[in-house]
Amino acid sequence: MGGGLLIVAMALALAACSGGTDRQGSEAGAAASGGTDAMTLYKKQCLSCHAADLSGRVGPSLEEIGSKMSERQLIDTIQDGAKGMPAFKKVLRADEIETLAQWLSTHTQAEEDKP
Sole binder of ligand HEC in the list 29, 85, 108, 112 (CB under 6 A): 85
Q: Which stretch binds ligand HEC (CB under 6 A): 15-23, 27-35, 79-87, 106-114?
A: 79-87
CB of 10 or CB of 73, closer to ligand HEC: 73
Element (H, E) at 105: helix 94-105
DSSP string, 66-99: HHHS-HHHHHHHHHH-BTTB---TTTS-HHHHHH
Please answer whether residues 54 and 61 qualify as being in contact, where contact means their C-beta atoms are separated by less than 8 angstroms: yes
* Bind-site residues for heme c: 46, 49-50, 85
Site for ligand HEC, rule CB under 6 A: 45-46, 48-50, 58-60, 62, 65, 68-69, 74, 77-78, 82-86, 88, 100, 104
